[in-house]
Structure 1
Amino acid sequence: MSNISLSRWAQKNKNTMDTTRLKGLVRRPSGEDDVTVYDLPDSLLLEIFSFLEVKDVLRVTGCCRWWREIGRDECLWRNLAYRAWGEDCNKAPFVGTWVEEYRRLYSHSPVILSEELVEHTDEIFHVAFSHDGKLFTTTGKDGNVKVWEIGCPTKLKYSYNLKEEAGWNYTRYSAFNQNDTNLLVSGLRFHCGWVAWFSMTDGFTLTWTDVMTPQGIRGAWLSNHHLLYGVQSDTAEAVSLCVEGEDVNGSHTEEGEPQEIQEINFDVEIRIQFLNVVRRKHMVKNDLNNESYTSRTQFNSNDVHRNLNHVNNEHIFTNNSCGYLLVFATGYCDALNQIGIKFVSKNKLKSTLRHDNNHHRNGVINERRRSSIQRKQNAHCDHLIDLHGQILGVRVSANSRYLVVNMRAWLEEPDGSDPYERPGLSKDMEVRLIDLLTLRVQPIAYTGHKAVTDSDSFCFCFGDANKDFVVCGSESNQAYLWDRHSGALLSKLDHLMAGVSAAAINPVDQELVVSVGDDQIVKVWRSRVKHKQFKKEKAVVIYNPSDADYNTRL
């Protein structure tokens, strides 16, 4: 709301604020004919306050109880919020007043750069947190997978170079299992996708690797002890999803091939990228509902939600269903414009163990030599959501409720006459949240971040979402942070002259964000409250003379 509209509101509602009793408590100077500031009407004083900065409003409200009452006016603080974050800013449903909303967005949003971690020697592609929020991993072009321990300061806990140790070209993606005892890492080796399994319980040990095709699947955790990844047959007729598991002792099978899931076989024409597995029992069902909010850009629900096979898929929406949702980006030919969802019932998840010889490398890595996979009945997607643009990154939120999709919209809708046509892409990116419980795209589009590459050389950028915030990387040298409830852009997290490939929110502490990019620097962002606390704790750690390492750091 502008100052002019605020003035009109104050004049219209000048009798709504009754501060007569508070005025009487103020000590007035002597002289009956003197006209002072205490004779100003409340509406005029409110208009004067509207021209002040927030820090000045807080100062004047400490002068007297009368001014404090006026300085806490709802209209005033709504105007201050609009001035700071734009008129898209709306009060969150769980917030009582605009003063509280301003405090939430200003003091508790992770916008302060706290740490810069320099350990990678090349571009960093991805960042992912452990479920307990104590660790995060980074992967990049230098072939490293690094595990960081959040603290004061944040320290490098483990590091493994798959380029030197296993001949990989680079590491692309990583993910912890549900109890954070194992780590999945995927990347490229000799122009083929590869997946690796690290054990976190015995000092970050590489226990198993295997080739993975197509490489864009990346792999996902089916459970704490089973990893799901992709295999393409020698005849290129089908793509199957296979499971690698460990026994009760945490060891991998010495003989035999990974277990092939019979029910999950896809036609090779269907592209599968950014595979994620969501357990229905892990979904948070009482999450805040964003359907009540509106945005300038909305999807037509009748247009984007459709069932590919036109069969009864009520089992997808049944809350009592026990099983898995396989969620991935898909599309035919060169397009990657759809979110595909396949429901796999736990009772029907049958697998067979196929035997073959293993190839051991250095006694550590078990590289599987796979026989040809026979084509089986196609398992089409149960549900497709067309986003009408190129998908650039997919991540499941920490509560397993939302799919965070970063994308670039098409400039023109393709007519379908040329199946290999790649439509032009907008330079504007946008983040969409898909509710995995209802399979509906949320109405708010989180916009503002830009792309600098053309339609033929787009880059992948990953985002994340939590209870209050949405964050995403961009090609324009910045990560972007939004208020999840209103879509208002809260801050741009600078990476200077480098694109930001990924940003993630701590699943336990949403006031901490980590962003990575082409500048080879891992940046840790904290809220103003947490940054102030971080500086105090860091000062104690560094300058405490009782510390045994104090003298060595001087």
Structure 2
Amino acid sequence: MLRPRRIVTKKAPPDWLMLPDSLLLHIFTYLEIPDIAKVTVVCRSWLRVAHDEFLWRFFFYKDFQVDKSVPIMPGRSSWYLEYKRLVEGTPCVQTEEIGEHTHQVLHVSFSHRGHLFATSSKDGYIIVWNSTYPAEIKYFKDMKVHSWKYTQFSQFNSSDTLLLVSGVHFGSQSSTSGEIAVFNIENDFQLQCRVLNKPYDIFGTWYNDQYLLSGDLHWLAHLVSTSVIWLNKAKQETSSEHHAIISRLHKFYNRNASSVRTILVANCLSQEIPSKNTKRQFHSQEEIEVKEQRGNPVSRSELRVGQNSINPEEAASMFQAAPENEIYTNTTSINYTSEYREAEKSPSSSLPLNSAQKLLKEDKIAQSRSTSMESLNSLIDEPMDVASKKTINRAPDWEEGEISPPMSLAEDRDKYLIFTTGSKTYSPHQIGFKRINNFEIPTVVEQGPGLRERMMQREQLREMRNMGLFQEPNWLDFEAVADRFDTIDHLIDLNGHIIGMGLSPDHRYLYVNSRPWPSNYTIESPLSPPRIAQAIDMHVIDLTNLKEVGTMLNSHKAYTPNDDCFFIFLDVSHEYVASGAEDKHGYVWERHYGVSLAKLPHKDVVNAVAFNPADPEMLVTVSDDHKIKIWRSRRRARELGIDEHEVGIAKEMRFKCSSPENDVTV
């Protein structure tokens, strides 16, 4: 009997090209970014899934350790572009190292147009550089010829025509005297004026384009003094003695050996002064040796008296996983309050001009990645346009229309005078705010009493003292002399030593570096402040309501004790925050997500950092190692023909892929 013939069919191999999108998406979460770039060349289906926004959202939260409650940056709609921005747009490639200074470099500042930057150093020089590649010296001055010990600070005016330079005078160990000099950028760096500044760590600042603020300190009684803020014209008149070049702006009362320091001026964005907190009103509170030092110490001696697709060829440099020895743990992030997050959503506060056009452009890009394969392929094949010019002064392609220049100090609006001060000890532990109502700056000197009249008045005063008819005010009793001084509108006590402040470009937020005191501190003497922590905290203050809206604890390390504590300057761009540190690194954080992105190494303390306002992908760091380092993004480095593997690279905050089950749900 014939048995039926069994037909054997060959089992077809699995068709990987036909896998469901959901399964592919899950598999892709186990890959790393360079692998994602490779799988996109398998087929169009895999390319489409590799561009899925949920996938890039997963990688973004995981790789940068972003808190899952933080949404995408307002004004952005693509997680892929955000990932690309943080990798491609963060200044982490050391394109230059300059050793022109022969001593510790204390400060760096950029012009508003970004075409110049200035460095200050303990060698006594102020140097102005062209911010081209490579950077070139444009001007320099040796300020020791003016009896300066060193230069410590600089600031360009709004029109970038003048440079304010602050320095420390030669003098005795107890001297806190300093001086401000103004140089004309357009007139071959000619010295235009000099203004006394005491104490030197007031630094000085521009009030508007042609006037600057300086300080003076007068001792009234034991541990009691007055700080006077002067408004100075940046050009000393010689045509007539009746032209006003200086006028007193404010006079403040200082107790417990404290004084006004580190002054800033910001445009007022609010119409009213926030209500005072009685616990922070000045009047309601109950109330050094010069040697070879690191950095710029606080004055205190006197007190003892692109592309939108994944290009496999570019992925090796653009989306490569950071080497294991260059990955560091993100232990600190900027934690913002709900008020800050709500303010970000406001178009007036979070989106610069042309943001609507940017949103429309981004949405079109995202749509083209999912629906138009032809446009994707054309983007992949598009050759890179290497800049022929070596000056890079523009925002990245994915941020076109997003970056706006820093806000200039307005002539016709109220301003905030911001400064550090104290009430418990000489150490600056409070931030003071004084609203300056718009006023007409005096241009003519009022005619006062002549020499004969002044001599007669002085003689009469001497006679009254001899007769016991004149009694000096009791300066120790603030209530009795309060009418002689200006009041501080608002005070914020950070309960620690404030070592640096920086404004956001829109003057909305103030970022502050401080070294906290112990939580249960006691102050037995104003001349003996509490021991400061070996860590630096960062605070964010909203200048519309003078409330703290962000904090980062233990942002980086510090090692110097109270007596040697010095300034660590920070800088803020529209999207990034950077700061120096005592642990021989500069640090870069992303502002919105609050996460750390990179550590920029030096061989000694990093005293200051500065973003190029015209191109935040360029950052300059200066250090006690006598070096100036210029950092650019990967994108800028490629445009300049620089191979990142042949130069220094920062330690990046990028994590290797972990198990998706423990991360963001795709």
Alignment TM-score, normalising by the size of structure 2: 0.63
For residue 524 of structure 1, give the secondary structure of its aligned residue in structure 2.
strand
Question: What is the aligned partner in structure 1 of residue 591 from structure 2?
Answer: 484
Aligned: 1:344 with 2:344: no
Residue deviations 1:409-446, cap 9 Å, x none?
22224356655552232222132232223322222537
Q: Using a 3 Å threshold, how does the CA distance of structure 1 residues 31 and 92 change in structure 2: closer, same or farther?
A: farther
Aligned: 1:177 with 2:157: yes
Q: Using a 3 Å threshold, how does the CA distance of structure 1 residues 520 and 444 change in structure 2: closer, same or farther?
A: same
CA distance in 2, matches of 1:224, 1:507: 17
For the 8 Å contact 1:135–1:150, the answer to whether it is kept is yes
Q: Using a 3 Å threshold, how does the CA distance of structure 1 residues 297 and 401 change in structure 2: closer, same or farther?
A: closer
The residue type equivalent to 1:241 in the other structure is I
Determine which of 597, 615, 619 is the counterpart of 1:509. 615
For the 8 Å contact 1:129–1:506, the answer to whether it is kept is yes
Determine which of 207, 212, 232 is the counterpart of 1:227. 212
CA distance in 2, matches of 1:235, 1:207: 33
The residue type equivalent to 2:610 in the other structure is A
Shift of residue 198 of structure 1? 1.1
What does 1:197-216 correspond to in 2, within 5 Å? Answer: 197-216=182-201
Aligned: 1:267 with 2:253: yes
For the 8 Å contact 1:468–1:484, the answer to whether it is kept is yes
CA distance in 2, matches of 1:343, 1:46: 55
Question: What is the aligned partner in structure 2 of residue 238 from structure 1?
Answer: 226
What does 1:92-491 correspond to in 2, within 5 Å? Answer: 92-163=73-144, 165-189=145-169, 190=171, 191=175, 192-233=177-218, 237-246=225-234, 251=237, 255=241, 261-269=247-255, 270-280=258-268, 322-332=413-423, 333-347=425-439, 353=445, 377-415=484-522, 419-445=526-552, 448-491=555-598
Question: What is the aligned partner in structure 2 of residue 5 from structure 1?
Answer: none
CA distance in 1, matches of 2:64, 2:103: 35
The residue type equivalent to 1:342 in the other structure is K
CA distance in 2, matches of 1:342, 1:502: 26
Shift of residue 280 of structure 1? 3.5
Alignment TM-score, normalising by the size of structure 1: 0.75
CA distance in 2, matches of 1:55, 1:127: 37
For residue 81 of structure 2, give the secondary structure of its aligned residue in structure 1.
helix
The runs of 5 or more residues in structure 2 that have no matched partner are: 1-8, 272-331, 340-409, 449-472, 474-480, 644-666
Q: Using a 3 Å threshold, how does the CA distance of structure 1 residues 536 and 498 change in structure 2: closer, same or farther?
A: closer
For the 8 Å contact 1:434–1:441, the answer to whether it is kept is yes
Residue deviations 1:345-371, cap 9 Å, x none?
123766884899xxxxxxxxxxxxxxx
Q: Using a 3 Å threshold, how does the CA distance of structure 1 residues 129 and 413 change in structure 2: closer, same or farther?
A: farther
Which structure has the greater CA radius of gyration?
2
Shift of residue 515 of structure 1? 0.7
For the 8 Å contact 1:394–1:406, the answer to whether it is kept is yes
CA distance in 2, matches of 1:453, 1:234: 29
For the 8 Å contact 2:179–2:197, the answer to whether it is kept is yes
CA distance in 2, matches of 1:439, 1:263: 22
Aligned residues: 460
Aligned: 1:67 with 2:81: no
The higher relative CO (CA closer than 8 Å, separation ≥ 6) is in 2
Structure with bigger strand share is 1
CA distance in 1, matches of 2:117, 2:617: 15
CA distance in 2, matches of 1:61, 1:388: 54
Q: Using a 3 Å threshold, how does the CA distance of structure 1 residues 212 and 354 change in structure 2: closer, same or farther?
A: farther
For residue 163 of structure 2, give the secondary structure of its aligned residue in structure 1.
strand
CA distance in 2, matches of 1:254, 1:66: 79
Q: Using a 3 Å threshold, how does the CA distance of structure 1 residues 446 and 98 change in structure 2: closer, same or farther?
A: farther
Shift of residue 203 of structure 1? 0.3
What does 1:526-537 correspond to in 2, within 5 Å? Answer: 526-535=632-641
Question: What is the aligned partner in structure 2 of residue 7 from structure 1?
Answer: none
The runs of 5 or more residues in structure 1 that have no matched partner are: 1-29, 284-293, 302-318, 357-373, 538-554
